[in-house]
Amino acid sequence: MLLNGDPRNVVYRDELFYLERALSVGGEENGAIRTEVTTVEGFSGDLSDFDVVVLANVGNVSATFASELGAFVRQGGGLLITMGSMIDPAEYNRVLGDLLPKPLRSVRELCEPGDPDANLMATRLARVESSHPVFRVFDLPGGDSIQSVSVYSYMLLEPSLAGQAQIIASYADGGPALVEKDYGAGRVALLTTTIDRDWSDLPIRTAFLPLARRLVRHLARRGSFSESDVVRVGQRMNIDVEAQHPDRVIIEGPLSDPEPPRYVLIPERDRVSVPFEPEQAGHYDVRLDIGGQERSFDELAFSANVDTDESDLSLTDSTLAQGLARVGTGE
């Protein structure tokens, strides 16, 4: 569920223009993440029907809705909060309280996007936790660069008790860019800049698409099928290659076979994933051919089982299993 805090009549200036399109890339059969878009005022459904809620520059969060969000996350939901001009830090701290990974302080304005010296005055997305599931692909050969992102303004955060939240991305000036914490059975992530182009050029960088998609899947407590999940033999899956742009995808497996079968897939243009149906049970290795160099990607390895319903092999919890049809597979 994408909640729009700053809808615009000019489509490309709308708060959710870039995020909605990044999540929908590929179509329902090729890895698109299903979304619904509305405003807080226009939402009248049940949050439990969704895996992830995005508050995109939403300034008018009522105490009642904040309580519903808290219950949603505690029960295993994911929440992404992004900043913008509609946010009142003091009011957010009061209403959302400990649901925030860290309390908000104030906006740090470095420059305007159209400033002639913006390249000199803006900060950069300089440091990321490369071991974190969201950012692993950016540290791999062929991965999109995230360091090219320019940030013109961002929300400063107050310190919090050690261990309560993890800063998984920071700006070159030391400010936190992306912070997350566990909250009950769920997760909350806070992006300190905007998800549109008002405060940064992140949405028009090639890294935005894989970042947005991986972050949403992470908050839903599941990755793509390609992240060491167990799938069924004969079940269609999508192997994400959105950050690497390979010329070919090579799948070998099951690896228990003395001479594992080798499948070569050619990604279609503008597709973020390639479809595959494992024919036998076992573990499969995925290799990517990038510029003539073939490399194994542990991030994309997966296992296939004959029937996960009848065996004890399952996804990490029932929430993830129920979310398969709604997040990431498009099925």
Per-residue pLDDT of the chain (331 residues; tens, 9 = 90+): 999 999 999 999 999 999 998 888 755 545 568 899 999 999 988 999 999 999 999 998 999 999 999 999 999 999 999 999 999 999 999 999 999 999 999 999 999 998 999 989 999 988 899 888 888 766 544 455 688 899 999 999 998 776 689 999 999 999 999 999 999 999 999 999 999 999 999 999 888 888 898 899 899 875 444 344 467 888 888 888 776 778 899 999 887 778 889 999 988 876 677 889 998 888 788 888 888 888 877 667 777 887 645 444 333 343 333 443 344 444 4
List b or e across 225-250, with b for residues whose CB sees 16 or more CB atoms inside 10 angstroms: bbbebbbbbeeebbbbbbbbebebbb
DSSP 39: -
Interstrand relation of 293-296 and 282-290 (parallel, antiparallel or unpaired) = antiparallel
User: How far is 24 from 165, CA to CA, in rounded Å?
Assistant: 29
**Nearest Cα to Cα of residue 200 among 119, 129, 117:** 119
User: How far is 241 from 33, CA to CA, in rounded Å?
Assistant: 15
List the structure tokens of 93: 């701290």
**Nearest Cα to Cα of residue 310 among 232, 229, 224:** 232
CA 176, 127, 173, 58 torsion-angle sign: negative
DSSP 200: B
Predicted TM-score (pTM) of the model is: 0.72
User: Which residue(s) pair with 285 in the sheet?
Assistant: 252
Residue the block writes with tokens 């036998």: 280
DSSP 13: G
User: How far is 192 from 175, CA to CA, in rounded Å?
Assistant: 9
Coil/strand/helix, residue 133? coil
- Cβ neighbours of residue 235 closer than 8 Å, sequence gap 6 or more: 277, 278, 304
Q: For the residues of 160-210, what is the DSSP string, one character each?
A: --TTS-EEEEEETTS-EEEEEEEETTEEEEEESS-SSSSSBSGGGSTTHHH
User: How far is 178 from 197, CA to CA, in rounded Å?
Assistant: 17
Helices 208-219 and 17-24 sit at what angle, rounded to 10 degrees?
80
CA 222, 45, 25, 148 torsion-angle sign: negative
**Domains recognised in the chain with CATH numbers:** 2-219 (3.40.50.880), 230-314 (2.60.40)
